[in-house]
């Protein structure tokens, strides 16, 4: 079978982002300095990032029959993403509260996946053709682990490249899942949660990478925020530098930008290390803009940053 493009299994939520100088304490009300509402959810963000980076993208999920669900469909139509999405008559489309520090851009997030929290292996089987036809398959942990595993199983059997972003950082009892992954892409917090090894520097990242390889992962690609990323495979371990594209405005969505850019580059035939550099450049641009999905850069912007 001829495979092309990227298939993403994940969650869409509407981001409700509040800017303020600090998080309120329990029982406290504070004045904020800004608010924005827009499309989000790790899986959907990654799909948008991959599509804007030039990949042909399918997105697999569940949404509610509500106004937030209509925003999801409009978002995917605008971005040229093919939705393979079931609708729930009972559960709502998901939502996320995002606190953004008004000067540093740091963030804290609460996600409620809504209808997508009920994605089952049977739902994934129902759209298995989208996974089998993809060159790269991506999933995360905002939907149930058993659904992520089923997607990885289908992709591995079909010969697609498998990318697992174990986010958010939740505990799960399925170490066998790592053996289905060509690339595991956690951030520092997620890598520490999965391995018990603190990732405070490159040496710690390499130790955590070794632990992920021992669990069966093909390559550990650990994102390190403003320090870039570590590409840690069985035959090479290399630091991927960050790309500074301007003043940091908001870091929410940077990891999704990295994963989406990385997947798009892989789908386009790039060497994995070059794909990681492409992902780093994608993330470097995204943090200079507010929002998550709306902050994802276009292919021409990424290419220009890489050349510069």
pLDDT tens for 59-116 read 999 999 999 999 999 999 999 999 999 999 999 999 989 898 988 888 888 888 899 9
The pLDDT value given to residue 182: 98
Of 302, 294, 211, 216, the residue nearest 258 (C-alpha): 302
The CB-based long-range contact list for 20-25 (8 Å cut-off, 24+ gap) reads 20/99, 20/100, 20/101, 20/102, 21/101, 21/102, 21/103, 22/101, 23/99, 23/108
User: So where are the chain's domains?
Assistant: 6-10+42-67+79-89+118-307
CA-CA distance, 35 to 17, in Å (whole number)?
6
pLDDT at 1: 53
Q: How far is CA 211 from the centre of its chain?
A: 22
Of 58, 185, 60, 41, the closest CA to residue 120 belongs to: 60
How remote is the C-alpha of 39 from its chain's centroid?
A: 14
Q: What is the pLDDT of residue 266?
A: 98
Q: What is the pLDDT of residues 106-163, one digit of tens each?
A: 888 888 889 999 999 999 999 999 999 999 999 999 999 999 999 999 999 999 999 9
Question: Does the annotation count 256 as an active-site position?
Answer: yes
Q: Which CATH architecture has domain 6-10+42-67+79-89+118-307?
A: 3-Layer(aba) Sandwich (3.40)
- Residue among 55, 45, 74, 48 nearest 251 (CA): 45
- What is the rounded distance in angstroms from the CA atom of residue 59 to the CA atom of residue 183? 19
Q: Catalytic pick from 235, 256, 271, 303?
A: 256
DSSP state of 20: E
Tokens of 274: 């070059």
């Amino acid at each position: 079978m001829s495979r092309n493009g990227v298939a993403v299994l994940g969650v869409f939520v509407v981001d409700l982002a509040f800017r303020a100088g600090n998080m309120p304490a329990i029982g406290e009300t504070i004045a904020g300095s800004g608010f924005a509402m827009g499309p989000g959810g790790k899986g959907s963000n990654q799909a948008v990032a991959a599509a804007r980076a030039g990949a042909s993208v399918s997105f697999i999920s569940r949404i509610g029959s509500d106004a937030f669900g209509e925003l999801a469909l409009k978002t995917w139509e605008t971005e040229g993403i093919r939705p393979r999405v079931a609708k729930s008559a009972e559960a709502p489309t998901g939502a996320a509260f995002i606190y953004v520090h008004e000067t540093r851009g740091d963030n804290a997030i609460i996600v409620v996946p809504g209808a997508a929290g009920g994605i089952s292996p049977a739902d994934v089987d129902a759209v298995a053709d989208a996974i089998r036809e993809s060159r790269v398959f991506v999933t995360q942990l905002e939907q149930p682990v058993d659904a992520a595993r089923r997607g990885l199983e289908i992709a591995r059997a079909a010969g697609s490249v498998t990318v697992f972003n174990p986010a958010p950082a939740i505990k799960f009892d399925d170490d066998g899942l790592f053996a289905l992954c060509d690339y595991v892409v956690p951030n520092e917090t997620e890598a520490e949660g999965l391995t018990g090894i603190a990732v405070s520097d490159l040496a710690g990242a390499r130790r955590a990478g070794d632990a992920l390889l021992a669990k069966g992962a093909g390559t550990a690609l650990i994102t390190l925020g403003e320090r870039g990323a570590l590409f840690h495979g069985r035959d090479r371990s290399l630091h991927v530098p960050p790309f500074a594209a301007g003043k940091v405005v908001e870091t929410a969505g940077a990891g999704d930008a990295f994963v989406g850019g990385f997947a798009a580059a892989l789908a386009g035939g790039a060497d994995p290390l070059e794909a990681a550099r492409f992902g780093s450049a994608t993330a470097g641009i995204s943090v200079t803009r507010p929002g998550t999905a709306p902050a994802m850069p276009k292919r021409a912007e990424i290419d220009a940053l890489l050349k510069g």
